[in-house]
């Protein structure tokens, strides 16, 4: 049965995390600040952010909560609702990217008193310090904190890593009294992911989490870093009057779990896009430009795509067709045409499978089941498409019926993977949400 997500975070969730941090820090619960860092979905703009493409996104009412109090010194002490052990370090320690620890023989600097398996989950907190330090911020105040994700939810494909990174950035900035713009934090989180952790992704996830507004579609040009919010129109035929009441967001989980940084498929696709761009730029006499597909015009692609071997041609085809779908999707959203918007999402999903060649049999089966579900307007993989879940927009009054259909049909196709979902919902019914923020209970 589909699970409705409801208001997030609820007062009970906030009270629970405040109480936990108060116990950890021996401070009053009223002193506890809570970072709300939502997960994001990307209806259109799959796999083109790292090439400087145009993308769309919105946040959902599920995500990361980080309760914290500023320390009296530089000490950071963290516990997690999902992982065992305790992470501790100081904000004035110099943080080096993970590959530098491995190559320079500096592994012993990483809290050798803590078992490695217990401190790995603290990498994003350390990465946040690295990002802030690398831009000259002088941090003097640590935090005592407790971080947790939405209960019972497999967050793969929903940008959980970016949500975690942003949560730590906002917490450290709040504790140290730093005024940082969303645009600056997009860059800081990119430093966490690209430089500190070595993941070659773009800036879509961070941008969506930091720039979104409930009910709007966030449009972003990843080359210029310019963004705008596309407000939906009032829907005259809907008795409640707003587009947001006409649809729900379905998240259908596959049971697949694979960390993005350990899957070679993601970084290999990025390299293939860059190789295609380089060949096309050389063919058009622009070889001095950065080899990303946003530097290639559609006309140049059409004129010279025969010079690309098959795989590279497919990657470029996905980029240019997806860019076009994003632009059409923004027009559809702005005019309230959910039917066309959904059809473009489904076409994006098909191109991800055929041209970008991500996905695997279980995810593709889940995509195909969603296409048959009652009331589904459009569907595609959520996230990189190498694990995780599919997203779908569905008519609001058919959301629960669609969720039940998908859960039953997927279980028939993948009983073993479906059995891995016993601790959480197989299909979650969500609403749009707001951007990341800090809740100060004392203000």
Inter-residue contact 133 to 169 (CB < 8 Å): no
Q: CA geometry: angle at 206 spanning 201 and 210, to 5°?
A: 170
Distances (CA, A) of 179 to 94, 135, 343, 362, 440: 22, 14, 41, 44, 15
Inter-residue contact 203 to 265 (CB < 8 Å): no
Among candidate residues 78, 27, 150, the one with its CA nearest the CA of residue 441: 27
Active site residues: 205
Inter-residue contact 381 to 258 (CB < 8 Å): no
The pair of three-digit structure tokens given for residue 180, joined into one six-digit string:
């940082």
The number of angstroms, rounded, from the C-alpha of 349 to the middle of its chain's C-alpha atoms is: 17
Among candidate residues 218, 283, 152, the one with its CA nearest the CA of residue 432: 218
Q: What DSSP state is assigned to residue 194?
A: I
Strand, helix or coil for residue 143: strand
Other Cβ atoms less than 10 A from the Cβ of 338: the count is 20
Other Cβ atoms less than 10 A from the Cβ of 138: the count is 10
CA distance 376 to 399: 8
Cα radius of gyration rounded to whole Å, the chain: 22
CA distance 54 to 327: 8
CA distance 418 to 415: 5
Among candidate residues 269, 270, 290, the one with its CA nearest the CA of residue 280: 290
Distances (CA, A) of 379 to 1, 43, 44: 19, 8, 10
The pair of three-digit structure tokens given for residue 362, joined into one six-digit string:
């279980």
The pair of three-digit structure tokens given for residue 9, joined into one six-digit string:
């975070």
Q: Do strands 427-430 and 247-253 pair parallel, antiparallel, or not at all (unpaired)?
A: antiparallel
């Amino acid at each position: 049965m589909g699970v409705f997500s409801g208001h997030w975070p609820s007062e009970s969730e906030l009270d629970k995390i405040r109480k936990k941090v108060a116990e950890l820090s021996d401070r009053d619960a009223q002193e506890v600040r809570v970072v709300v860092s939502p997960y994001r979905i990307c209806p259109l703009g799959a796999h083109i952010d790292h090439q400087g493409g145009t993308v769309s996104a919105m946040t959902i009412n599920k995500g990361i909560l980080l309760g914290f109090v500023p320390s009296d010194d530089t000490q950071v002490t963290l516990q997690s609702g999902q992982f065992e052990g305790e992470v501790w370090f100081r904000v004035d320690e110099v943080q080096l990217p993970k590959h530098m620890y491995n190559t320079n023989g500096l592994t012993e600097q990483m809290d050798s008193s803590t078992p490695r398996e217990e401190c790995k989950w603290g990498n994003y907190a350390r990465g946040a310090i690295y990002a802030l330090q690398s831009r000259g911020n002088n941090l003097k105040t640590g935090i005592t904190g407790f971080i947790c994700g939405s209960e019972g939810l497999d967050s793969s494909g929903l940008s959980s890593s970016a949500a975690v990174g942003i949560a730590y950035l906002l917490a450290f900035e709040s504790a140290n009294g730093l005024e940082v713009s969303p645009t600056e934090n997009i860059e800081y989180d990119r430093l966490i992911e690209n430089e500190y952790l070595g993941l070659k992704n773009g800036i879509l996830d961070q941008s969506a989490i930091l720039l979104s507004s409930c009910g709007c579609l966030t449009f972003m040009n990843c080359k210029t870093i310019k963004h705008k919010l596309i407000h939906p129109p009032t829907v005259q035929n809907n008795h409640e009057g707003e587009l947001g009441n006409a649809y729900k967001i379905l998240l259908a989980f596959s049971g697949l779990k694979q960390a993005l940084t350990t899957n070679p498929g993601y970084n290999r696709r990025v390299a293939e896009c860059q190789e295609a761009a380089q060949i096309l730029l050389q063919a058009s006499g622009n070889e001095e430009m950065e080899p990303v597909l946003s530097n290639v015009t559609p006309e140049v692609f059409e004129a010279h795509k025969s010079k690309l071997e098959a795989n590279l041609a497919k990657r470029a085809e996905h980029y240019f067709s997806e860019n076009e779908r994003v632009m059409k999707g923004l027009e559809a959203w702005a005019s309230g045409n959910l039917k066309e918007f959904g059809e473009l999402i489904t076409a994006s999903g098909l191109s991800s499978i055929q041209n970008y060649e991500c996905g695997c049999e279980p995810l593709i089966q889940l995509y195909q089941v969603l296409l048959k579900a009652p009331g589904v307007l459009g569907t595609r993989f959520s996230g990189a498409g190498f694990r995780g879940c599919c997203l779908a927009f569905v008519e609001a009054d058919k959301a629960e019926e669609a969720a039940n259909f998908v859960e039953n049909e997927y279980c028939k196709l993948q009983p073993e993977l479906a059995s891995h979902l016993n601790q959480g919902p197989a299909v979650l019914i969500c609403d749009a949400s707001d951007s990341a923020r800090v809740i100060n209970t004392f203000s």
